[in-house]
Amino acid sequence: MSSQPYDLLIKGGTCLLPHPSDQSLIEQSADIAITDGRIVKIRESINEPALRTINAHGLHVLPGVIDSQVHFREPGMTHKEDLESGTRAAILGGVTSIFEMPNTNPPTTTVEAFQDKLNRAKGRAHANYAFFMGASHDNVAEISTLEKQPHCSGIKIFMGSSTGNLLVEDDDSLEKILNQGSRRVIVHSEDEMRLRERKHIAVEQADPHYHPVWRDVETAVSSTTRLLRLARKTGRKIHVLHVSTAEEMDLLKDAKDNATGNVSAQVTVEVLPQHLTLYAPDCYDRLGTYAQQNPPIREKRHLDRLWKALLDGTVDVIGSDHAPHTREEKDRPYPTSPSGVPGVQTLVPIMLNHVHDGRLSLHKFVELVTVNPCQVFGVKNKGKLRQGFDGDITIVDLKKVKTIDNSWIASKCGWTPFHGMQVHGWVTHTIVGGHVVMEDDQVTMPAQGQPVNFEGTN
């Protein structure tokens, strides 16, 4: 018997546990005990006292979901979002850890700016947090040092769709960055030169239906082709974000060391729920500029190819690319309207609905948002329900039917492109560091998020 009661006991749930001999997951009815923020026991049955017990019979108990691409806008654009509101949205959607992007104001390109974000998150973040450092023309020489800052999730490169010193559009600068440091670099891959040449299409048409025409397939393919060539030349590991085209998936499948999607490979790949769920022209018919994001939502043939890539192992990670803007901003005439949609709160229910519809297995989804992000980014002590690991857990009811509604969205923007969509599968509890921070769509505790630790950082 335990001499002290456990802090938390989760009883009777169907747990997705790591297979003892490989990287796969197995479903097993089990009880999980957590004390001092760590999983201390997983057994078929635990009959010992606990300060808090969750009856998880009929529910699925998952490792805490990680969203490895969010834009929480702090500092500089906190009218759209901040670290408190963004992480509150995260836990309401079952996300226990987030990795936040560097295109804030000022951009996160120095130790001082990075430390400022950590200071801002402390005591305010409802989910665990880490921050990407932005690569720029000004900090190339420091990248090998910057990437080793504690709680840094890696180096982010914008080959297109950014401004100021965060934009790295030329091959010479990109190669210099890839030659600095050793951790995996994550990349927004669109060809900035082609975007500039074709911007007149968006201006002249003044219609969001032309967003994927301006930012066409070649804009993505030419950029990713250049990126792959430079990655091979430098030997640097890269992670290609929000891949949106069938043609890129063909390139990436060929480029990956292992067709089954070995996440230790040199090239890893992310897709978004938006690109797996919405398609043109329907999304622009219904949503107009509220479907506008970069890279764009494209025709259904691309969606179908992304699903094939997800199922054949080309895709390693699902992230949300949560990028909120206010209604006032989104209501501006295209193309003066900003690109980006919120997504951290809807990632899990949207993907659980795809599980319900038979498009992928629950096991596969969980790998893409727990095990794989930890391997891709070198996360310590998260991503698995395993004794000694952090007590971050997402509990879901696969049978629960809900309709996503703007009124549920905690993001400051107050809207979602999935408003009105009925989904099968919903998060019932979010547990961060052993604390039940969300239950039945209600935040139940003050902020409990802690900084995430990584291999290869100080």
Nearest residue to 388 via CA among 29, 90, 127, 18:
18
Catalytic residue among 216, 321, 390, 392: 321
Phi, psi dihedral angles at 124 (to 5 degrees)? -115, -20
Phi, psi dihedral angles at 410 (to 5 degrees)? -85, -20
Task: Enter the tokens of residue 38.
Answer: 């760590």
SS3 category, 166: helix
Give whole-number Cα distances, 317 to 89, 141, 268, 276, 400, in Å: 20, 29, 8, 13, 25
Nearest residue to 249 via CA among 278, 270, 233, 274:
270
Task: Enter the tokens of residue 265.
Answer: 């490979």
Is 216 an annotated catalytic residue?
Answer: no
Residue 173 to residue 157: CA distance in whole angstroms: 11
CA angle 241, 243, 247 (to 5 degrees): 145
Task: Enter the tokens of residue 228.
Answer: 């792959």
Give whole-number Cα distances, 99 to 66, 143, 428, in Å: 8, 18, 23
Q: How do beta strands 317-318 and 393-403 pair?
A: unpaired
CA angle 330, 336, 340 (to 5 degrees): 45
CB atoms within 10 A of CB 342: 28
Task: Enter the tokens of residue 350.
Answer: 């949207």
Residue 296 to residue 293: CA distance in whole angstroms: 5
SS3 category, 234: helix
Read off the DSSP letter of residue 58.
Answer: T
Catalytic annotation, residues? 321
